[in-house]
Amino acid sequence: MTRVLVLPGDGIGPEVIREAVEVLARVAPDVETETGLIGGAALDETDVPLPPDTLERAHACGVVLLGAVGGPRWDGLEQDRKPERGLLGLRKELELYANLRPAPVIPALADASPLRPECVEGVDLIVVRELTGGIYYGEPRGRDEVGGVRRAFNTMVYTEPEVRRIARVAFETAGRRRKKVTNVHKANVLDVSAFWNEIVEDVAPEFPDVTLEHQLVDSMAMVLLRDAASFDTVLCPNLFGDIISDEAAMITGSLGMLPSASVGDGGRGLFEPVHGSAPDIAGRDAANPLATILSVAMLLEHALERPDAAARVRAAVDAVLADGWRTADLARGDEKPIGTREMGERVRAALGGS
Ligand code: NAD
């Protein structure tokens, strides 16, 4: 029996999570859910952003659906008590080393992109970013003074096992999609990138139906704007993925639409919208729940291995948008927006019976 730990969190988190959990119940009625505390909500009740009880249950379930954490009420707290610490702690404790961020341009929303329509037609890519290694964690790091000159430094380091496991996630992901991996690197300058590329090349023959190409990160930043539709699965080390995934997200133009997954070994995963807790609209039935509903689709595909159910959820979202329904963040001109609750209900109606 699969159980999913649901962590609504703060701000609009509980509102968007409610809609997403009802969608999950519709397409996978056998999956049980339980609810826990994280972020500011956890701080208010237990004085810590990641209570031991939440962590224990996250380990037991292995699969977590999260809303968002944070808000101005907790901004004044010291760094290690902030709500965001709860989320970082959870990713670390579950050893979620691969971050998956799809950036599809949904045809009905193509005009939300800041790029010209011909540049975004057919865009449907996913960034697979290494999340627990590279320059963000490498040692040595810090500051010192040499001969009276102050300096600061970080270390970009990857071990062979770290590169192998993230490369496999990328090839597996591409295998379920259009079977092409674009590996982003800077091997013309960085030794660590040349090493990374060698390991990726070494893993590639394990996936004979997937094509591998390499792209320098600077050139990737440009080609992504000119020809994003040519990419399928984009594999990046931590630093490059941080930047390239935000650039890809911007191409779609709608923050309220973007899901994400952070996955580890053994089916473990944390599924959450890319956006934050949006305190400016919290509690007003104004949030777009689709990013969280699409995070449920990722959960179904990656953690529960139910690609058919995932496809049903995506098709229902597409149908509701094609019918012209928009939350306030998506509405243009004289389009009349609907609320969080109604958007959820319309997606469930589009799903039909279970
Ligand atoms: P945000 O993503 O919460 O909001 C940015 C803007 O987008 C706001 O105007 C907001 O109203 C709008 N928006 C976001 N999601 C929306 C949705 N689903 N529907 C409609 N509009 C939406 O980013 P922020 O304002 O920089 O941060 C607010 C809080 O969220 C901060 O405390 C921040 O630390 C936290 N945060 C949390 C996460 C997370 O939980 N993963 C991620 C980013 C920010």
Query: How far apart, in whole angstroms, are the C-alpha atoms of residue 15 and residue 9?
Result: 10
CATH code at 114-251: 3.40.718.10
Q: What's the pLDDT at 254? A: 82
pLDDT in tens, 185-209: 999 999 999 999 999 999 999 999 9
CA pair distance 214, 182, nearest whole angstrom: 5
DSSP 284: T
Burial grade of 209 (CB within 10 A; 0-12, 13-18, 19 or more):
exposed
Burial of residue 205 (CB within 10 Å: 0-12, 13-18, 19+) is: exposed
Q: Are 302 and 268 a contacting pair, CB within 8 Å?
A: no
The class level of CATH for 1-104+254-354 reads: alpha beta
70 lines ligand 1 (CB under 6 A): yes
Active site residue 242: yes
pLDDT for 108: 85
Is the shortest distance between the CB of 329 and ligand 1 below 6 Å?
A: yes
Question: Is the CB of residue 41 below 6 angstroms from any atom belonging to ligand 1?
Answer: no
Q: Give the pLDDT score at 341.
A: 98
Q: In whole angstroms, give the CA distance from residue 125 to residue 234.
A: 7
Catalytic residue flag (residue 136): yes
157 touches ligand 1 (CB under 6 Å)? no
| Catalytic annotation present for 246 | yes
Residue 84, ligand 1, Cβ within 6 A: yes
Closest C-alpha residue for ligand 1 atom 16: 256
- CA-based nearest residue to 207, from 173, 159, 161: 173
Q: How far is the CA of 217 from the centre of ligand 1 (A)?
A: 27
How far is it, in rounded angstroms, from Cα 345 to Cα 342? 5
Structure confidence at residue 110 (pLDDT): 87
Contacts 24+ apart (CB under 8 A), 193-196: 193/237, 195/158, 195/163, 196/158, 196/163, 196/237
For the Cβ of 68 lying below 6 angstroms from any atom of ligand 1, the answer is yes
Cβ neighbours for 352, distance < 8 A, ≥ 6 positions apart = none
What pLDDT was estimated at residue 107? 86
1-104+254-354 and 114-251 share one fold: yes
CB-CB contact of 1 with 34 (8 Å):
no
Please name the residue whose Cα sits nearest to atom 25 of ligand 1.
278
- Residues of the chain with confidence (pLDDT) below 50: 354
The residue whose C-alpha atom lies closest to atom 33 belonging to ligand 1 is 70
Q: How far is the CA of 10 from the centre of ligand 1 (A)?
A: 10
Catalytic member of 136, 179, 180, 285:
136
Q: What is the pTM of this model?
A: 0.92
Residue spans per domain, the chain: 1-104+254-354, 114-251
Confirm or reject: Cβ of 40 under 6 Å from ligand 1.
Answer: no
202 tagged catalytic: no
